A = this chain, B = another copy of it.
Amino acid sequence: MVEFQQTTLDNGLRIAAEIVPDAYTAAFGYFVRSGARDETDPESGLSHFLEHMVFKGTANRTAAEVNRELDELGGQSNAYTSEEQTVYYGTVLPKYQQRKLELLTDLMRPTLLDADFQTERLVILEEIAKYEDQPPFGAFERSMERRYGTAGLGRRVLGTKESIEAMTPEAMRAYFEQRYQPGNMVLAAAGNVDFDALVKQATELTASWPSQPVSNDLLYPAPASPPTAAAEDDVDAAETSLAYVVRHYHGPNALDPDRIAMRLLSTIIGDDGGSRLFWELIDTGRAEAAATWTQEFLDSGLMFLYLSCAREDVTANLRLIDGVFERVQQEGVTEDELQQVINKTTAAAIMQSERPGSRLFSVGSNWLTRSEYVGLDEMIDRYKSVSTQTIARLLEKYDLQTITEVHAGE
């Protein structure tokens, strides 16, 4: 028996929970509408930097105490920052609900001390350097800059060396007060959750949080088409063994119902096992990776293509990929392959729903983005309702033309 419950506290904090009374664990998370696209130029990287600072201590706990309690409660506790969200989450045994919620909620009011800020800046700079050493060596970030420009969705989540070095604790505190308003956050829960106790405790713990109206107008709406597409923007990474290519195609945004069909189409084209690209490029040994996936932002959507292969095979492989896309564009997909990916997608969703820690992201993110709850059965129905006609219509709306292309290591 799965039950959805939700409420909004007087201070604006929204709470959403998918309750599965016989689940073995309970997962909790704060979903904050705060990400790279909300940042101005001098704030570039601030959302992610702030995510780090949240673990550096509160009025009630030192960093060591935070760390120790997270350990004691067990399970995966972590956080991440994307273009549009910062999420803090953890899974615990049900008996720890109260302790976990108290800890997570306390973390949402970090002290943000100057000394911690200065030290953590070094950690961020090292994280930036780390990604410079990893394939595809900045090609994803470069592709986003090309598609969206250098602000909004084109911003790097980590920021740049320059923006991080110039950042001040004052700017972080101002940004925090603006973005970490209760009205800009969702407290989500999934699994073996006591919802009444959750609401009561959250009400008490957040009673002192300041509550001002939050503007969520997009600072930099996504441009309809790429601003520029200069080929000389390719990433310079000369000593690699393989070459890397990132491409964008148009796709539905996070509010567009067509996103469900596009995910299936992307799975048919470029899932990492059994897709058209898999049989054409991977199974044949032509490429090390050739995959597609969708990414949905509030006002823009993309299908990504990622290719890695020997340097001398890039041109031939891109031609094969173009062939795969052209055939899909012209002929659509077969009934058989559509049913196969529907089976695959729904089977995977059913298996993942075993873990409250996995359902949490669906519950929290849907509520933050769309104030919508989509249970597993509803999700499966949506996938099953996609037909080859839906895909044909989708292909009229979003043609499979490359709109951005970035190479690294050539």
Contact = CB atoms under 8 A, between A and B. Distances in A.
Contact of A130 (B70, B308, B343): B308
Interface of A: 24-25, 63-64, 67-68, 70-76, 91-93, 119-123, 125-127, 129-130, 132-135, 238-242, 273-274, 279, 282-289, 308-310, 340-341, 343-344, 346-348, 350-351, 354-355, 409
A309 B123 CA distance: 10
Contact of A279 (B64, B120, B242): B64
Nearest to A349: B74
Contacts of A288: 123, 126-127, 129-130
A379 to B, nearest CB: 14
B286 A129 contact: no
Nearest to A242: B129
Contact of A133 (B130, B241, B343): B241
A126 B309 contact: yes
A354 B129 CA distance: 37
Contact of A134 (B25, B74, B122, B134): B134
Contacts of A310: 126, 129
A171 B20 CA distance: 53
Nearest to A78: B273
Contact of A68 (B71, B125, B283, B340): B340
Contacts of A75: 347-348, 351
A122 B344 contact: no
